[in-house]
Amino acid sequence: ERSVLLGDTAHGVHPLAGLGVNLGFRDAEQLIAAITTAREHHDDWGEASVLRRYQSARRPDNLVTVLACGALSHLFSNRSRGLARLRDLGMLGTGVISPVKRFLIRQAMGL
């Protein structure tokens, strides 16, 4: 009660490309917004209802990032030759196709 976990503490994300720290930055940004709004309305920003709104606002981004990290971790730790070939082809395509590369970078940054 009256507590918030953010970043790696809240998500337990695999340490892939700093995605956990990016989540933490976005968590902090959203928490600041929730606190600011509560204060503007003279609400107790530590109340469960305020913190639930923060949690609900962060859930979609957190879920996508956690699932993507898990999938990437599995993809790169798997020993299947077929999966390795698909992974290598995907990595090659990502490096060569600039719009895909930009999209993935923006997604990882939360933009």
Percent of residues in the chain assigned helix, strand, coil, to nearest 5: 75, 0, 25
| pLDDT tens digits, 20-76 | 788 888 999 999 999 999 999 999 999 999 999 999 999 998 888 888 777 777 888
pLDDT tier for residue 106 given thresholds of 50, 70 and 90? confident
Structure tokens at 54: 């923060």
pLDDT tier for residue 83 given thresholds of 50, 70 and 90? confident
pTM, rounded to two decimals: 0.70
Do 14 and 73 form a contact (C-beta atoms < 8 A)?
yes
Do 93 and 100 form a contact (C-beta atoms < 8 A)?
yes
Dihedral sign (CA 17, 90, 104, 7) = negative
pLDDT at 110: 67
pLDDT at 14: 65
